[in-house]
Structure 1
């Protein structure tokens, strides 16, 4: 299935930026619309008309200039996602209302294909292995809002037999511009401020952002796929925090001994760091607790249908190369 136009809601964000880069590479003649609350509309003139930046707030009814239709593919990345970090109502206001407004926009313009980035948060926090068939039991406002948003997109797809929907549930997404968990891990390793928090075998499902972007496009363009696709997006099998840390050290040429700190002393240290502003690493009790809970996600279905291009080490090396082999940012 070929598309001539792409709309990226949340296109100024981390995943949106990498997706736009992939689209420019794979479809150089296509029109790309970056729809984002932070979009700088003046940048449209710099792209010779190939990329159109439009300021859009998905919490409100969406109006965009352009001619859209069946040849248009929507990527819906617009969301509040960092947790902890926002009041509970913000997740529902943006993630649920945004899903409704994006689907209404698609209805209005006869757009029949949407890729929606959900999350592994709808599975809830538990050590058990979760597949796409696992009953979601979200236990955070973010996870609840993402599961509701999935249902809203599914309702849109069910209204017409020609509509197609691709839902991805990524683990930790890492790469250039992430500024999240993996970046904090690297900074902690580099500055000798990272320690295993309570355990070394915590499973952390993750995926390289370039692989995620490629997978999402492949799902949308796959004419043989089911009308509604759902895939966990992570390595199979998932890696432990010890495997991730050691691979990152190897890929970036760092040599470090990583200490192990039992749970109680770690929480005391995290509380102290939190009072001191996290020491620039975002350290606080809530984040340390997250480190101790596995995100044990089964990526087998993805590996069978859309195999990843990068191993974990190759992904870290590619990220490092993109940063001039100086650091991971």
Structure 2
């Protein structure tokens, strides 16, 4: 089997290539607009916005994993979300059809459900609150429409929650770094539960889907359980690091006021700042999702949440 990872130079793609390359029966190529620092020998430059280069790169491929996306909170102009995430999906499907590739795994996002929802499963209606979530949902609709006219295609859609792990520099790392440094500021009461996915488990699930694909469309949330509240994360991090971590608490309204202040500052300076009203809102929101379908599919996560957190802290903070 020859697998093409589109957008594989980033954190998830690099770990997925590591996982897939273990099998001697599998060959992997990485198609990305950015060179891979880890897998340069199997990488080619390609872009979902360039159908010709994409089609050429897919010659001889059996399965595509589409990871490429605009996902930051502060992408500008916002049209880039739709250019890359939606039109990029259409371009990928057309390139696949041109080369006779009929299997695709697409990483969407739980962002399609919106914030503060009641533990949504895959049947829950989409209600995205930002351009990232909206564009991911529109990309899913493109894929679902395509499937109606291509019943012999095998299509997997995975909606991961926030992903953390060794080497990641995303929101969870920033949170753990603040907690570990003792400079953590808790906004609100900290009882909001936040579903998370450990990198070792999400790439194992993607590999599981690739190896069990069949015609039709399968949609899965991916979440590692149990869900930790913000206070839980502080407690577990404190225990694993073996240190008492002081926590400054401020009211939610004050945190949002500060976020709006940073929005204004970012607008004036034209700089991307680490704090914004959107990030404060997401930090304080309940982001809890149901992953029963994935866990009943026959997949067994190789790591528990506690193990994932321990491995991440050991890698980043030497504990």
- Equivalent of 2:301 in 295, 303, 308: 308
- Equivalent of 2:173 in 183, 190, 193: 183
Alignment of 1:8 onto 2:5 = yes
Distance 2:104 2:133 in 1: 20
Give the paired residue count: 311
Q: Equivalent residues in 2 for 1:119-198 (5 A)?
A: 119-198=109-188
1:129 alignment partner, SS class:
coil
Q: Equivalent residues in 2 for 1:34-45 (5 A)?
A: 34-39=30-35, 44=40
Alignment of 1:87 onto 2:77 = yes
State whether residues 188 and 281 of structure 1, in contact with CA within 8 Å, keep that contact through their aligned partners in structure 2: no
Distance 2:60 2:89 in 1: 18
Other-structure match for 1:241: 230
Distance 1:303 1:40 in 2: 32
TM-score normalised by structure 2 residue count: 0.88
CA-CA distance at 1:269 after TM superposition: 4.7
CA-CA distance at 1:228 after TM superposition: 1.3
Q: Deviation string for 1:246-277 (max 9, x for gaps)? A: 22333344431323221133334555677599
State whether residues 112 and 163 of structure 1, in contact with CA within 8 Å, keep that contact through their aligned partners in structure 2: yes
Change (3 A) 1:193 1:283: farther
Other-structure match for 2:219: 230
CA-CA distance at 1:40 after TM superposition: 5.5
Change (3 A) 1:105 1:235: same
Other-structure match for 1:320: 313
Distance 1:252 1:12 in 2: 31
Distance 1:43 1:315 in 2: 24
State whether residues 197 and 261 of structure 1, in contact with CA within 8 Å, keep that contact through their aligned partners in structure 2: yes
Which stretches in structure 1 are left out of the alignment for 5+ residues? none
1:295 alignment partner, SS class:
coil
1:215 alignment partner, SS class:
helix
Other-structure match for 1:19: 16
After TM superposition, which residue ranges in structure 1, 4 or more long, deviate above 6 angstroms? Answer: none
State whether residues 83 and 142 of structure 1, in contact with CA within 8 Å, keep that contact through their aligned partners in structure 2: yes
CA-CA distance at 1:103 after TM superposition: 0.7
Change (3 A) 1:158 1:257: same
Change (3 A) 1:65 1:90: closer
Distance 2:223 2:284 in 1: 19
Distance 1:312 1:41 in 2: 28
Distance 2:79 2:58 in 1: 32
Alignment of 1:297 onto 2:269 = no
CA-CA distance at 1:244 after TM superposition: 2.5
Q: Deviation string for 1:146-192 (max 9, x for gaps)? A: 01111222233333332111111111111123211111112211222
State whether residues 237 and 300 of structure 1, in contact with CA within 8 Å, keep that contact through their aligned partners in structure 2: no
State whether residues 184 and 281 of structure 1, in contact with CA within 8 Å, keep that contact through their aligned partners in structure 2: no
2:64 alignment partner, SS class:
strand
Q: Deviation string for 1:288-308 (max 9, x for gaps)? A: 121111112112222222232
State whether residues 21 and 27 of structure 2, in contact with CA within 8 Å, keep that contact through their aligned partners in structure 1: no
Distance 2:3 2:91 in 1: 17
Q: Equivalent residues in 2 for 1:209-220 (5 A)?
A: 209-220=199-210
TM-score normalised by structure 1 residue count: 0.85
State whether residues 40 and 55 of structure 1, in contact with CA within 8 Å, keep that contact through their aligned partners in structure 2: no
